[in-house]
Every structure is written in structure tokens, then in C-alpha cells.
Amino acid sequence: MPKVIKTKTEFEGRVLEEYVVVEGEGLTAWDAQAPLKFVGKKIPRIDGPERATGKAAYTFDVQLPGMLYGKILRSPHPHARIKNINTQRAETLPGVRAVLCYKNTPKISFRRQTFIFDEIVRYVGDEVACVIADDEEIAQDALELIEVEYEILPFVLDPEEALQPNAPKLYPDGNLLGGQPEVYQRGNLEQGFAQADVVIERTFRTQCALHNCMEPHGSVALWEGDSLTVWDSTQHIFGVREGLARLLGLPLHKVRVIKKYMGGGFGSKNNLGKYTVIAALAARMTGRPVKIVLDRHEENLATGNRPASIQRLKIGAKRDGALTALELKAIIAAGAYCLWPPSVGGPARELYACPNLKTEQYTVFTNTGPLSAFRAPGYVEGTFALESLMDELAKELGMDPLELRLKNYTEIDQTTGRPYSTKGLREAYERGAKLFGWPRRPEPQGQLRRGVGMASQIWSGNGMPPAYALVKINPDGTATVITGTQDIGTGTKTVLAQIAAEELGFPIEKISVEIGDTQMGLYAPLSAGSMTVASVGPAVRMAAHEARQQLLDVAAQVLEAPRESLTITDGLLSSPALQKPVAVHEVLKNLENFMIIGRGAREPNPEDVTVNTFGAQFAEVTVDTETGEVKVERIVAVHDSGRVINPLTLSSQIEGGIIQGLGYALFEQRVVDRNTGVVVNDNLENYKVPTALDIPEIVFEMVERPDPRANNLGAKGVGEPPIIPTAAAIANAVADALGVRIYELPLTREKILKALQH
Amino acid sequence: MPKVIKTKTEFEGRVLEEYVVVEGEGLTAWDAQAPLKFVGKKIPRIDGPERATGKAAYTFDVQLPGMLYGKILRSPHPHARIKNINTQRAETLPGVRAVLCYKNTPKISFRRQTFIFDEIVRYVGDEVACVIADDEEIAQDALELIEVEYEILPFVLDPEEALQPNAPKLYPDGNLLGGQPEVYQRGNLEQGFAQADVVIERTFRTQCALHNCMEPHGSVALWEGDSLTVWDSTQHIFGVREGLARLLGLPLHKVRVIKKYMGGGFGSKNNLGKYTVIAALAARMTGRPVKIVLDRHEENLATGNRPASIQRLKIGAKRDGALTALELKAIIAAGAYCLWPPSVGGPARELYACPNLKTEQYTVFTNTGPLSAFRAPGYVEGTFALESLMDELAKELGMDPLELRLKNYTEIDQTTGRPYSTKGLREAYERGAKLFGWPRRPEPQGQLRRGVGMASQIWSGNGMPPAYALVKINPDGTATVITGTQDIGTGTKTVLAQIAAEELGFPIEKISVEIGDTQMGLYAPLSAGSMTVASVGPAVRMAAHEARQQLLDVAAQVLEAPRESLTITDGLLSSPALQKPVAVHEVLKNLENFMIIGRGAREPNPEDVTVNTFGAQFAEVTVDTETGEVKVERIVAVHDSGRVINPLTLSSQIEGGIIQGLGYALFEQRVVDRNTGVVVNDNLENYKVPTALDIPEIVFEMVERPDPRANNLGAKGVGEPPIIPTAAAIANAVADALGVRIYELPLTREKILKALQH
């Protein structure tokens, strides 16, 4: 029976009653020494062949009879009021079926104070209208026939300028999200700084970075009667369902969202996109299915970014390194729209023992493309600043940077006072240092300067309920896992198959996994926050456990063996009471299509401990003092994400995170023209992401200690942890090489050469 | 916990151990007086709009990127050996991608002693090869370029001839299925006839009838890696899954069969078709999706038929009408292939109390298109013969035909000795007679002769386990039913929605139903045998019940009301403890995506009683003695199928069954050329099905008595019952009009005129 627990939470001064439904309890995590057959093993992706051979159908591949194509007209101005739109010429172009804009669509509220088709555009790339046509080329051509009369408004691109009283306002209530900064504090900051022997203060700046997931954002919408089906490239099919139902006034059971395969998502696909709502509106208007898939240009203008930040940090410490106070004042450039801002103060609040602390964050609207979540939002930016500052402090104190970090090590969650369930950061430091050869090695002289640096990582990663799964066992002894999660490219299907195979005692090739369908699947949370394994995995294990119980129930009766004597391994039932093992399908084949159906729910998280992931990275760089080129030679990473389910898919995450962090450290940066608000590098030719030649030697190990308090797997997520410390470690290594620090990312040749001139 | 019961069954002289899994118990059928809101109400089809507006995608509508089309080359000879096939010219036609035949495909055993592509063809229309091409036209053209060298073999078309020792043999072991007749007997036939005051003996003949469901048979096959997805126009997605897995050597979890909408199926879609296997083979060979949809010509040659029968019946009775003995010797023309033969002796064995009885059935292979199940297979044919004979006996005894039937009425299942759970046949007789004005009305004289006749119906219709369902409740108080059944056009989705709405206490528009997908759905049996409502419905009710229990669990906690005080009506929770009713979504919306998931299984059937359906039909005809034309003026039908779930979808079944029975009685007949084995009316121009002008006044009522022993709904099926007695009632009315009987269906003008000449 589901238990409902009522809790009271204070939020923005109001006391909210929250209800939590408790389900899924009763399974404890496998013991660290438990001999497991599939969990912890390098199982190749079960959906590898169809992905590699082009058989996997992504949203772009969905073809429906009579389907139309949409292209979106985007604002050429950073800030303007649409005085009029004349779509007549576009509508008469042969092959054009509809042109949607604010004039002929319902006024659907989308994000704070704005609408799907708004009469005000707030950045270059903002949605103005959409042409629906027989093919994409016609739609594209028709865009040029739409006549828009704009009233140009003053605009602001820089978040510090946007905070000025006379700055152009994006919204009637001003440019500061919420009207005031978000403030966190503990202890007494003044006293803390007064106790310090050393106080240093620095300002760090991080750039705006673009997602560039391989598969662009896009949707296909189909109406059948009053039922809407949407194929969507999304990290949360149930979230898109909820959003579409809410915005279009539909009941949830009439909205089906499907996402079978996905070519990556780093947070920009967490939420319902305008293109999805527009596709649904257009399909209803034309009576035909509509596909809208964004191109790379649109991807880089309109789907979100890691926002630029300005972080002023002030830190106080005793001579022995013990921190006494830490203050962060951060400004985040939200761009034109913001669903929820990343919190760059997280690492400062959590990473070290520090009794007196204040973080203050100003999230500021500017006339640029909107922010979105981007792989460890806030923590990548915040860790760069904090861990750079820690190195500055270590230098000031004459301490080894790692020694300073160990000095301020804590087993207590500084924000709640609760202990961590498990914390492998000390071991990560120690093993990383040993693997890397820390503290430092002799530096080469001359044009090439070598440097080393390190940084720490903290991140949640345990996920949460609710998440549900079914496990069906077929008469031939194969099984199908059904859940409503989505594989955003990380290997979710494989990991869930491993968990089911382990729990059932079946060979892994006998397991298939069905995901990505809200109508047929069960609720699962968004694939973000490094939480899919830790949220959905336990539900799958529970469902498999229930299925196994049913299988043992019937097997005991069919085989006439004591139930408690039966075990299942490799799909064989064994018991001392049996002469020889009996295959599961031998038991089931006589039961005439009897289908075992196990159901599982994710259990609640513990309330007495904090479950987090941890890690440390060490970087070695060579800086060419003539050209300013930074070459990252090596990254050593040691992370603690609890039990590892699949070292193969994990290695993709670790390496991918480090490589993406390297790009962020060295060259990824959206450039906006100051005079026009136009993004000048909204493509992969000018926006530099790392290529094979940029990739260093990557050595990583896991502190593989199952966390029994996390969930019934003992596993935590690993999607975001590896990107968090990379830029900080590289920046520290570059500072070590140069003897002088650059406070602003990315560490371009120009900045290196400029720093060397000082 | 699922209970396994082991039973021993004697089958063909061997003792078989069978296991039955017992699940789904605990719900009793609603009381006859229970005030129900949706069950028993005329709810329009919930999928009506998409069907009526053309949005519903049938198998033919499935379009996949890169899809190819297949056309099948069929034998022009009734019996031949393929000496050689040369596909070279066909293969070089531009647009042809592959030609499949026995030479380049695996030797896949399909039906007894035959293969998917066999080297022997056994009827005109038998599969020889298949061309796969870019479009259907190219494939069709290429068929003519395939050069087949046949060795012509002698053939036999008539089943009686086929039984002769010197007849051409279709199979090495001869033309009689199983090598011997199927025999059933009870009592002592000889003694029975010795006790009789009157013995009469007649031979009846029925024709071969063609299905002609509106949607043709067809499949689309798609491989993704080693996973096969098939869209199939089938009455049993799980059966097609099983068959494909077995024939192609695939595990069940790698085969997905999808059937969303269907345009009718009368039994010929019960089983896996060759076209489905060929589509799967061709898709694997070409690496592209393949669609094969049969045309009307192929439908009428190759997808099965209601087989012709010859039934010699001998009956003995006392002067008061009490039956003492009954003997049936039947020959069934199986055509070239036979999965399982219909049993024409069913009505004889079951309909009347008769202690001494023998039925003997010879199922005979002939070089004609194969038989398949066809709406009440065997019972339509058997009832025509038996109920005609009963009228002859009544005439002989000078009794009213209805009186004779009531004289032999029984409450005991004659084949098992168990009582019927409920039997409404007496009431059906009585109400039917009253509605119709039985026994008879003054007959007109002259050219137009009026006649009346009646006949009885017995049929199973309770379905069986296993069948499973899920009911998910969404946070907005809507719910989705998920099961693995298929709606063959009967209104299954609507009926399941009614059951779920009733049990949940939700408005019906808050229910959606998802069916027709083996991968995401749960096992359900084939949609045949009038058993979908009675098999799947109880599983849905059980799943809804479990969901309701969970909903009450959480609602009691959230609302702080005693659980047992809560009721749910119209989606509102009420309790004396509450000030006013609270909407379900108000309770759920605070529970953060908590998803209620109820699971249900069909309960076992009772073992101490027989659950059957019953009915009676009365026909009034006018026969034009000049033209031989029979006009059916009126049909009155009263049937007992337990509780009626939806009078609207039920009326479609009753009327459709009667109309199909009328066509069978009067004009439907496959005609095969005796010299060539060619079907001369394999199209809807020459094969006559009833049109609007043929349809009589139809009056029907239901003996609506819930059968509490049947299942938790008290409902039984109604798909087949209405077609069973129609032809017999019409034939009896025609005999009444003419004063002379025609022993062979259909009752064509030619036969009428010939009978009048005697």
C-alpha cells in the first residue's frame, strides 16, 4: 500500500504542505562483495547495432503519410515590438499550407509574461512566425515572403549593464529575475573574515557556452481525433506531456509523447520547447502531421546555453589553511528567458568545511539567447571560480593545493548538517595524486612551459522517486522491461537490462528494454541531474524482483521443489531437490501464455543523510609561450559515484565529460556582436568544440564503493560529475605553467599571450 | 501469488499433464440490480471520430522510410510440382529489389508437411514466389517476368472424390486429415434408434463461403538490428509474435507485433499468414522495411474460407417428440491446408437432450483454397443441418417446431453432464415467439408464398484466462487502460473503457485504452470465439479495481478521511467525513507525479458448470414462385449472452451476424471451375454479399441476465451467436413457404425453381 507522508516546507516565506508517496521499499543494495554477473560488467550497448547501422529512428527519421514541414521565422533584432505581420505573400506560395503567428494562434502563455508567439521579440533568434509547407525548402523560401513591421526597441547585452537603473528593460518588472538576488548564508561572515589570517578576493568570469548536441531539437506532431501524439527529441517525455496538456488544455491521457532514440541532450532538452507546441498547433490547424526540426543555426540561437557568469569571491583562512569565511557574489546572464537559473554558489556552499558563508546570485535578463540547464548547471562555472581561488589561497599560504583541500575536508553536508551517506573524495584525492604523480614534476624550461593543477567535484546524482517499471516474462524465458524513461544517448537501455538480468538471474541477451512512450510506459523522471540510473534503475530492480518472486512461486509448484530451495542462474532453475537444472522456459511453456508481470517503484531517499557524488581531477598542460597555445597533455580523474553498473558506458560519460570540460576551458564561447546582438558563431565552423586532436591522455578510476543508503543499487549518477572539475583543473595547471593566473574562461591564446606580457 | 494447478487430460489416447495458473480471483460480478453508470449503456465508440475521419492508421496506412512493396506470385495450377523457377528477368527489372522463392529462402515449415515456399503447389492461388520492389506496380509487373516450370499433377476438387482410394493425393499420407475421422459418441446409438417411434435421415450440403472482411490481410515488417517489428492485420498479435519467433528462430522479446486499428476479421486473421513471414524474410534480405498487402483477388483465393460440408443426419424420436438417437456423418472440404478443422457436430452434440449420439467427421484435403475459422466455425453449418432436420422431424410428428425443441430442452451440458451456469434459451424462445407472432400467420396465396421458420443457437463465448491488463491513473485524474488485445472492429476499446470507468468511478471521457502492441502490452488471447469481452474485460475490471484500491489508500491519507467511508463517483471522492466532494485530480496533483498502476488478470473459469451463450431466431420470408427469388421479410432474434456491456456495439454484432447469415443462406458461394480448379468469382462483382436492399427488418432483444459464474462481469460474448441460427431459420421458413425442402445452401433461385418443379 502506498504511504502518504505530509511534510511542511518553507518556500519564499510561505509554508507549503507537500505530500510524498512512499513506495518501493524492501530491497537492500547488493553487498560490495556480492558476486554479480552483469552489474559492474562491461556490457556493450544492447542498442548498439541499430544505432551503428542507421536503423534507429530518431525524431528526424519519423515519416508519416501526408506530413508537412515547418520552418520558424526568427527575429533579426535583439529587442523589438512587432507592429504588424503580413503573411499573405507567404501563404500564396505554392506548397505553403499555413503560416502561424500571434495573429492566428491562441495566446498561449509560455514562460513568465511571454507567449508562444509574442508581440515582443527579445533576442536575435526569437520566434516570430512559422511556415508550414509540403517540404522544408518551400517553408524556408516562404519565410522570406513574410513581411514583419518591427518597432525597434533599445537593447542590452551585458548583464552588468542590464542591472543599471537606466538599462533597457526586457520585462515591466525589470531585468533581475525575482526582483532580488538569491541569497544563502550561514554563520557570521564578518566574524569569519575577522578570524582569518589571510583574506583574498578575486573576480572570475565565465563565458556563454552552446550545447551542440549531435541531434538537433525537433518534434513531429500528429492528431488523431482529439488525441495528440508527439515524437520529440526530449530528455523528459512525461514533462513534455504535462506541458503540452497544460498549454493546449488537453487531458493527460490524450497526449502521447514518444522518444525512442536520441542523439544527446545536455539539459537543453529538459523542457517543452516552443517548436513542439508550434508543431502541435500547426498539425491541428492543417489537419496533417507536422515536423519541425531545428537546424544548427537555430540550435545555437534559440535552444539555450550555459550562461555567462561573473563571480566575485572573497575567502578568509587561518595560517594553517582552515577556512573561516567565504563570500560569493555572482551575476548570471540569463538571456531573454529563464525557466530556472543554475546556482553557481553550490560548490562554494558544499565543497569545504566553512562555518561562515554567504552566496548571493543575481540572475539577469539580457537581449541574448536564453539560458538552459547545461550538464551540471552552475557547478561547472562555480567550481572553476572556487577551485581557482583555492589555488590562489594555497599559493598565498605557501601550501600544496591538495593539502589545503584536505585541510578543509568534511564528512558533513555543510548546508544541512547531515552526514554524507558515503564520501569517497579523500580516496579520490589520494588515488588521483598517486596516478598522476602529484604534487608536481620538474618543469621544462624555454618556449614550452609545463604546469599541473587539480580540482574537486561535488554533485548530487542520486535521483529520486517517483519512477516506475514493469518486467514481463515471456513463455520462452525472455523478459521485457517497460518504463517511461528515455535514453538520451548514455546507455540507459543497457544499464536497465543489466539490472533486470542480474535480479532475474537471466542471461542478458534474454532481456529487452522498452522506453520512451508516455502512453504505454510508466512515469519516470527527466533524464538529467545524473539521476536516471539512480532513479529508474531501482524501480527496474524492484519490478524484476517482483517478477522473480512470481516465477519462483510457479516454478516451485510446477517442479514440486521447495520454493526457498530454488535459485535462478543463467536462466536455469536449480535446487537440491532437482536432479538437474531446469530452464525457465521449460517451466513456463506448459503454462499456456501465463505472463509474469512484475511492477516496481523507486524507493524514497533517506532523510538522515545526504547522498552525493564526489571526484577529483588532475591536469597537466603545456603552454607554448610564443603562440599562447595550451595543450592539455593528461587528465587523471578519480570519481565516486557509488557502485558502477557498466564500466563501458561509464567510461563514455567520464571521457565525454572531460572532453566537453576541456572545450569549455580552452575555446568554446558564444560571441555576440555588441552593436547588433547577432551571434556571430552560431555554427560548428566558427564555434569551436574539441576534436580528436585536442583530446589528451585520459586516465580514470572509480572509487567503487556501493552506497547502500542511496538506493537498492548502491549506485549514483555519473553523467555530470566528470565535466565539473575539468576547467578548474586545467586553469590551475595553466596558472601553474605561466606563474600568473587568467581569471576568465576560455583560456584563449590571446589571453595567454596578454597574461605573459604582464 | 499465482497458484498452479496440475490437471491430467486424455488426448488422442495419451495422458497429458496440463498446468493451469490461477490468478485474478476476488471480484464477483455486479449484481443484476446494481445501478451502473457506464456498463449496459449505449456509449458511442470512443475511437469513432478517428475511424470516421480517416485518421486511424490501418496496416495499409503504415509508411516507413525506404519501405519496399511485395507482390506474391500464385500458382495457376491446382496441383503441380515446381521443377524450376527462373527469376533473373524479374530481378533485372528496374525497381525490383529481390525475388523470393524456395531457392533463396530458408526451408521454413509452415503447416503440416509444407513450407513457406513449397516446391509443390496445391491449389490455384498457392504461393510460389514474391517480388519485392520500390512500388506495388513494379512488383506486379515483375511477377509476369518470373518463369516457372511446372510439372502438372493430377488434382481433386470434390471432398467425396478425394476420399476415394484412387484419388490424387495432396499428401503422402493421403487426403484424410489425421488418417481417420474424428468420432464422438455417447450412449448406445443402436438401442436409441430401436427405441424410436420415428426415424428420419437426410443429407445436407453447405457451400464454401468467403470472408471478405473490409480490410485485406497484410503486413509491414521492419528489422532494427536483430529485433523485428511487424504491423499486421491480425486477430491475435501475441499469436503472430509466437509464430514469427518460432518460424524465424527468434526469441519472443525481439519480436514486436503491432495492430492499432482493424477493418474486420471473421477468423481468417486468427493465425500467422504466409504473407507476414514473407514480409519479414524480405525485409531481412533487403535491409529495408517491406509491406505486403493482399488484394481482393488474393483475399478470396488464399486467406481461408468457411469450408463446404456434406452432413448425413439420422434422428430417432418417440411419438411425443423426445429424441432417442442422433447420428451425424460429416465430410468437410478442408481445401489444400488445414490448421484445425471446424467441428460441425457441435450443435448436434449440445443443443438437445439426447442420450444416444454419435458424430463422425471426415476432414478432407482437396486442391482448393484452404479453410480457416469463419465466425462460429462449424456451428453455422451444423445448425443449418440439425435445425432443418428438427423441422422435418416436427413435420413428421405433426408437432409445432418450437414445441419439439422445448420438448428436448435441457439444463445439462450433454457433453460433460455439468449444468449450465445460466441458460436463457427457454426465455429466448418465448420472447422470440411473442415478438414474432409464432407459430404462424395466414399464408398468402398465388405467386408470392409466405413462410416462417425458426432455429436455435448454442455457442461457448465465455473466453478464458490468461489475459492481463494495466490501469494507470494520471495526476489529472485521467486513466489509461493498457492490454495486449486487438480491436478487430467490434468496439473492444469502448467496452474496455466502460468497464474501467465503471470500476474506477471516473467519467468515461477520462479513460483511454491502448491495445495492439505485444511489446508494450500484456498478454491477451485472440479476438475470436466471441471471447474478447469475457476474457479481457474481467482483467481490465480487476486492474481498475486494484488502481481504485491504491487511489483510495492515498486519498484517505491526503484527505484525512476514513478509507472505508470514501466513494468515487464521476471522478469525485465523497465521504461523510468531507465537507464536499473532492476531485480525484485535486488529491493527486500534490503527489508529484505519483502514478497509480493497477494490474489485473482474468480469473479462472468454473469447473462445475458449463458457461455458454444461447439464442433463437425467427424468420419470415416471401418466395416468388415465378422467379425463385427469396425475400427475407423479417428476422426476430432473442439471444442470451449474459450481461450486455454496450447495447450499441452489441446491436452491430447482432445485425451484422444476421446479415452475414442471410448472405450465407441465400447467395454467398465460392464457385470453382471443375476443369481447372480456378475460382471464378474471386471478387466482389461476382461473389455476392448482401447489400442494403437485401436487409430485412431486424428486431432483436437480449435475455439480459448476468451470468455470475462466467466471470467478474457476468458478460459473455456476442460476436458469433447471431450468425449461427440465421441460415437455418431462413431455410425453415423457405421450406414452410414452399412445402418442400431444399437440402443444400445457398437457396438460389435455380434451386427454388427446381424444387417447385417436383
Give ranges for CATH 3.90.1170.50 in chain A: 62-153+214-264+269-302
N-terminal to C-terminal alpha carbon distance within chain A? 69
Please give the helix or strand (H or E) that residue B233 lies within, else none. none
d(Cα B537, Cα B714) in Å, to the nearest integer? 10
- The per-residue pLDDT for range B74-120, each reduced to its tens digit, is 999 999 999 999 999 999 999 999 999 999 999 999 987 899 999 99
- The per-residue pLDDT for range A239-279, each reduced to its tens digit, is 999 999 999 999 999 999 999 999 999 999 999 999 999 99
| DSSP designation for B59 | G
Do the chains contact at B478 and A252, CB–CB below 8 Å?
Answer: yes
Is the pLDDT reported for residue B315 higher than 90? yes
The fold adopted by the segment(s) B3-56+463-601 is Aldehyde Oxidoreductase; domain 4 (3.30.365)
Q: How many CB atoms lie within 10 A of CB B619?
A: 32
pLDDT band per the 50, 70, 90 thresholds, residue B589: confident
Is the pLDDT reported for residue B631 higher than 90? yes
Do the chains contact at A553 and B2, CB–CB below 8 Å?
Answer: yes
**Cell numbers 618556449 label which residue?**
A447
For residue A454 the three cell numbers come to 587539480
d(Cα A464, Cα B82) in Å, to the nearest integer? 65
- Closest chain B residue to A222, measured at CA: B55
Closest CA to B394 of B454, B334, B474: B454
d(Cα B544, Cα B537) in Å, to the nearest integer? 10
Contact A349, A359 (CB under 8 A): yes
Angle at B681 between CA B678 and CA B682, to 5 degrees: 80
d(Cα A332, Cα A160) in Å, to the nearest integer? 9
Closest CA to A302 of A211, A197, A195, A215: A211
Do the chains contact at A21 and B510, CB–CB below 8 Å?
Answer: no
- Rounded to two decimals, the pTM is 0.95
Residue B225 has its nearest CB partner, among A49, A517, A522, at A49
Do the chains contact at B466 and A593, CB–CB below 8 Å?
Answer: yes
Do the chains contact at B468 and A597, CB–CB below 8 Å?
Answer: yes
For residue B31 the three cell numbers come to 449484481
Q: Residues 419 to 448 of A: which have CB under 8 A from any B CB? A: none
Cβ of A410 under 8 Å from any chain B Cβ? Answer: no
| Alpha carbon of B560: minimum distance to chain A alpha carbons (Å) | 11
d(Cα B373, Cα B529) in Å, to the nearest integer? 10
Contact B683, B621 (CB under 8 A): no
- The per-residue pLDDT for range A681-726, each reduced to its tens digit, is 999 999 999 999 999 999 999 999 999 999 999 999 999 999 999 9
Q: Which residues of B touch A558 (CB under 8 A)?
A: 4, 6, 19
Do the chains contact at B225 and A55, CB–CB below 8 Å?
Answer: yes
d(Cα B28, Cα B11) in Å, to the nearest integer? 33
Cβ of A66 under 8 Å from any chain B Cβ? Answer: no
Q: Which residues contact A31 (CB under 8 A, 6 or more apart)?
A: A706
Is domain B160-213+307-410 annotated with CATH 3.30.750.24?
A: no
Alpha-carbon radius of gyration of chain B: 27
Is the pLDDT reported for residue A53 higher than 70? yes
Q: Which of B9, B21, B582 to mutate to test the interface with A (most CBs of A within 10 A)?
A: B21
Q: Which residues of A touch B4 (CB under 8 A)?
A: 554, 557-558, 591
Q: Which residues contact B163 (CB under 8 A, 6 or more apart)?
A: B175, B176, B331, B362, B364
- Mean pLDDT on A630-646: 98
- Closest chain B residue to A18, measured at CA: B590
Q: What are the phi and psi torsion angles at A290 (to 5°)?
A: -130, 130
Q: Which of B223, B240, B252, B470 to mutate to test the interface with A (most CBs of A within 10 A)?
A: B252
| Alpha carbon of B540: minimum distance to chain A alpha carbons (Å) | 15
Q: Which residues of A touch B596 (CB under 8 A)?
A: 2
Do the chains contact at A253 and B479, CB–CB below 8 Å?
Answer: yes
CATH node for B422-459+607-758: 3.30.365.10
Q: Which residues of A touch B468 (CB under 8 A)?
A: 595, 597
Distances (CA, A) of A533 to A355, A501, B389, B395: 34, 15, 71, 79
Do the chains contact at A466 and B63, CB–CB below 8 Å?
Answer: no
d(Cα A383, Cα A399) in Å, to the nearest integer? 20
Q: Which residues contact A48 (CB under 8 A, 6 or more apart)?
A: none
Is the pLDDT reported for residue B15 higher than 60? yes
Is the pLDDT reported for residue B443 higher than 90? no
| Alpha carbon of A71: minimum distance to chain B alpha carbons (Å) | 21
d(Cα A392, Cα A683) in Å, to the nearest integer? 36
d(Cα A625, Cα B619) in Å, to the nearest integer? 104
Cβ of A487 under 8 Å from any chain B Cβ? Answer: no
Cβ of B3 under 8 Å from any chain A Cβ? Answer: yes
| pLDDT score for B54 | 86
Please give the helix or strand (H or E) that residue A151 lies within, else none. strand A147-152
Helix ranges (H only) for A287-414 are 296-302, 346-350, 379-397, 401-407
For residue A666 the three cell numbers come to 580552452
Distances (CA, A) of B373 to A519, B136, B160, B614: 34, 29, 21, 20
| pLDDT score for B442 | 64
Number of CB pairs < 8 Å for A and B? 173
Is the pLDDT reported for residue B60 higher than 80? yes
Q: What is the 3-state secondary structure (H, E, C) of A485-543?
A: CCCCCCCHHHHHHHHHHHHHCCCHHHEEEECCECCCCCCCCCCCCCCHHHHHHHHHHHH
- Mean pLDDT on A387-403: 97
- Mean pLDDT on A317-330: 98
| Strands across the sheet containing B182-186 | B182-186, B356-365, B323-335, B309-317, B198-206
Q: Residues 81 to 120 of B: which have CB under 8 A from any A CB? A: none
Distances (CA, A) of A365 to A677, B283, B532: 14, 54, 59
**Cell numbers 531517499 label which residue?**
A605
Ramachandran bin of A161, using left for φ above 0, alpha for ψ from -120 to 50, beta for the remaining angles: alpha
For residue B516 the three cell numbers come to 495492439
d(Cα A429, Cα A439) in Å, to the nearest integer? 11
- Mean pLDDT on B446-455: 94
Do the chains contact at A1 and B550, CB–CB below 8 Å?
Answer: yes
Alpha-carbon radius of gyration of chain A: 27
Distances (CA, A) of A489 to A214, A702, A731: 10, 21, 29
Q: Which residues of B touch A47 (CB under 8 A)?
A: 225
Q: Which residues of B touch A523 (CB under 8 A)?
A: 593, 595
What is the signed CA dihedral for A269, A270, A274, A280, rounded to 10 degrees? Answer: 90
| DSSP designation for A424 | -
- The per-residue pLDDT for range B607-626, each reduced to its tens digit, is 999 999 999 999 999 999 99
User: Would you tell me which CATH number, out of the four given (3.40.50.150, 3.40.50.300, 2.70.150.10, 3.90.1170.50), belongs to the domain A62-153+214-264+269-302?
Assistant: 3.90.1170.50
d(Cα A236, Cα A272) in Å, to the nearest integer? 8
- Closest chain A residue to B595, measured at CA: A523
Residue A592 has its nearest CB partner, among B466, B476, B519, at B466
- Closest chain B residue to A22, measured at CA: B594
- Mean pLDDT on B653-665: 98
- Mean pLDDT on A726-737: 97
Q: What is the mean pLDDT of chain A?
A: 95
| pLDDT score for B12 | 58
**Cell numbers 589555488 label which residue?**
A391
d(Cα B384, Cα B741) in Å, to the nearest integer? 12
Cβ of A468 under 8 Å from any chain B Cβ? Answer: yes
Q: Which residues of A touch B509 (CB under 8 A)?
A: 251
Instruction: Please give the biggest Cα pair distance in chain A.
Output: 87
Q: Which residues of B touch A519 (CB under 8 A)?
A: 480, 512, 514
Cβ of A589 under 8 Å from any chain B Cβ? Answer: no
For residue A209, list its beta bridge partners: A306
| pLDDT score for B16 | 65
Is the pLDDT reported for residue A590 higher than 90? no
DSSP assignment of A48-65 = HHHHHTT-S--GGG---T
Contact A251, A258 (CB under 8 A): no
Give ranges for CATH 3.30.365.10 in chain A: 3-56+463-601, 160-213+307-410, 422-459+607-758
What single-letter amino acid sits at A110?
A: F
| Alpha carbon of A716: minimum distance to chain B alpha carbons (Å) | 22
| pLDDT score for B58 | 94
Q: How many CB atoms lie within 10 A of CB B113?
A: 13
ipTM: 0.92
Residue A19 has its nearest CB partner, among B18, B512, B591, at B591
Closest CA to A611 of A639, A640, A654: A640
